[in-house]
Structure 1
Amino acid sequence: MSALTADAPEAASSTAGPKAASAAPRSVRRKNTALGLLAWVCGLLFVLPIAWMVLTSLHSESDAATNPPSLAAPLTLDGYRTFFEAGGGAGPWPALANSLMASVFSTLFVLVLALPAAYALSIRPVRKWRDVLFFFLSTKMLPIVAGLLPIYLFAKNTSFLDNIWLLVILYTSMNLPIAVWMMQSFLAEVPPALIEAAQIDGARLPTVLSRVVAPVAAPGIAATALICFIFSWNEMLFARVLTGVVAQTAPVFLTGFITSQGLFLAKVCAASLVISLPVLAAGFAAQDKLVQGLSLGAVK
């Protein structure tokens, strides 16, 4: 009897083991399914406004202005034709070229200035480097509109109004604190042994930055460059006040479709979609680098 009673718990545990093992993967599958559905819902919520903008840009103005909008309305490319014919014979190309020039050059200047600063604050930290980082961050606490009047008077007195290089300088100063903060965390993940080995071989600071630090932190640098490019491309307040015809950027050109006659919704959606394409193309091109850069320093 004692042997039978001793074997009973073992038999019970052996029969309960497969049931518990089968129940555990079932709960994991349910959890993964719920998380997958949640991810799809969040993705659709982000994509739905863009899809709505694309659909509205393919409607006529009368169909786009109906309330509620008609999804089965006939499609047309009149909004895109109006956008590319706006602004005279040149169309939107000068404004797009100005935005591209201001965004690319300011992003390059930001990277050139932020890389040594981030190196000094992470790999070769200066004294009270946290205070330096907070000083960089404090420069973003002043609203842009608060410094708009002095900047306008300076540009007027120095004949810099309606000059694309003024926007390059302003965008560089605007994005530099963000770039230093981001790249400081990225460069902190660079192994110090690599830098010490390069210095033992006789490499100086420019060589260390360009041939050792930059390749290792390339995903983080790409993520920083993409964010700075997006911020520069979308900026409108400085461009609206400090430019006219020569240095007009794409966001300022977009506001020309809002007139006293009303809001031409289909044309605005078509123009917004075309102006957003360079940013979307840059995001897709650097998608893998962006994910790698934003995941640097994460717990693996």
Structure 2
Amino acid sequence: MNSPSSTTTSNRSARGALTTLVTWVLVLIFFFPVFWMVLNGFKPESLASSVDPTFIFKPVTEGYQLAMDRGMAGYLQNSLTAAVIATIISVTLAIPAAYALSIRRVKNVENSLSFFISTRFMPLAAIVLPLFMIFKTIGLLDNIYMLAVVYGAMNLPVTVWMMRSFFLEVPFEIIEAARVDGAGMFREIVRIVLPLVLPGVAAAALISFIFAWNEYFLALLLTSSAARTTPPFLGSFVDGRGQFLAVLSAAATIAALPVIIAGWAAQKQLVRGLSMGAIK
């Protein structure tokens, strides 16, 4: 006769195995569209557009060649420029803002936080016309640097919220000790606080980079040729003649690589950063 402890252990093992199985099924379901996109990028257009799915075929690089022939390298450079500048702007401005909202508390901090996040909820359709008119008036329409500034401003509320939760995890005793030693506010931030929350800063920077890299609506309406980024370029493969799935899949695979590489390179910092502030 089985003891209660052995029965409990068996039930836990069964639940653990079931959870693992369900997790793998969900991972495969969510990963399959990405796998199919990469697979279609190596197919001839006839096979990629076929109704019948094909898994066994002779790989070709025609889709990648066509994507690069249409000037994809320039669009990737614009996306990289906008994403990097936007990330620098949002992180640089978020550090003192999050510091003031966490360590050196300002009055009515809840109202400030609500104001920050409410600006992120504003529909882009409500602000695109004023932005268009302003940029056209000052002659900066279709300018990659102004687009980067807009991206940085858009990502700032989310970055501030993330970094505030990271700063709240810093033991206040360390900050008090630094102040007793005569550390000023600038030294307190740069030498004491930032090294402790560096994984969180990396996580916030990566999230900001991904948001800027993937943005489509403003890039489509505020740019035309010189500053056009990769997302609107991908949409150009769907026109009145149909959907060119092979070249579109190849271009989308190329566009996804920088984010995948950045996430893979910063995965340790990302996991540590996103876990900061989760457990008190």
TM tier, smaller = over 0.9
Q: Using CA pairs under 8 Å that are at least 6 residues apart, name the structure with larger relative contact order, 1 or 2.
A: 2
Structure 1 stretches of 4+ moved >6 Å: none
Deviation at 1:39, TM superposition (A): 1.4
How far does the alpha carbon of each residue in 1:256-288 deviate from its partner, in whole angstroms, 9 at most, with x for none? 222322110011000000011001111111111
Corresponding position of 2:189: 209
Structure 1: 5+ residue stretches without partners: 1-15
Corresponding position of 2:200: 220
- State whether structure 2 residue 182 is matched by structure 1 residue 197: no
- State whether structure 2 residue 11 is matched by structure 1 residue 27: yes
Deviation at 1:75, TM superposition (A): 2.0
Q: Say which SS state the counterpart of residue 236 (structure 2) adopts.
A: helix
Deviation at 1:155, TM superposition (A): 0.5
* Aligned 8 A contact 2:85 2:149 in 1: no
Give 1:32-71 correspondences, 5 Å limit.
32-71=16-55
Corresponding position of 1:183: 163
Match of 2:77 among 73, 97, 108: 97
Deviation at 1:178, TM superposition (A): 0.6
Corresponding position of 2:62: 78
Give 1:199-278 correspondences, 5 Å limit.
199-278=179-258
The residue identity in structure 1 corresponding to 2:37 is: M
**RMSD in angstroms over aligned alpha carbons?**
1.4
* Aligned 8 A contact 2:142 2:224 in 1: yes
**TM-score normalised by length of structure 1:** 0.90
Match of 2:131 among 151, 176, 183: 151
- State whether structure 2 residue 277 is matched by structure 1 residue 293: no
Corresponding position of 1:6: none
Structure 2: 5+ residue stretches without partners: none
Deviation at 1:161, TM superposition (A): 0.8
Match of 2:90 among 89, 110, 119: 110
Q: Which has the larger radius of gyration?
A: 1
Deviation at 1:131, TM superposition (A): 0.8
More moved, 217-226 vs 64-73: 64-73
Question: Following the alignment from structure 1 to structure 2, what is the Cα–Cα distance between the partners of residues 92 and 73?
Answer: 26
Match of 1:142 among 122, 132, 135: 122
Corresponding position of 1:173: 153
The residue identity in structure 2 corresponding to 1:36 is: T
Question: Following the alignment from structure 2 to structure 1, what is the Cα–Cα distance between the partners of residues 279 and 221?
Answer: 45
Corresponding position of 1:4: none
Question: Following the alignment from structure 1 to structure 2, what is the Cα–Cα distance between the partners of residues 211 and 269?
Answer: 46
Sequence identity (%):
43
Corresponding position of 1:3: none
Q: Say which SS state the counterpart of residue 3 (structure 2) adopts.
A: helix
How far does the alpha carbon of each residue in 1:21-47 deviate from its partner, in whole angstroms, 9 at most, with x for none? 322221111111111111111211221
Deviation at 1:137, TM superposition (A): 1.2
Deviation at 1:294, TM superposition (A): 1.2
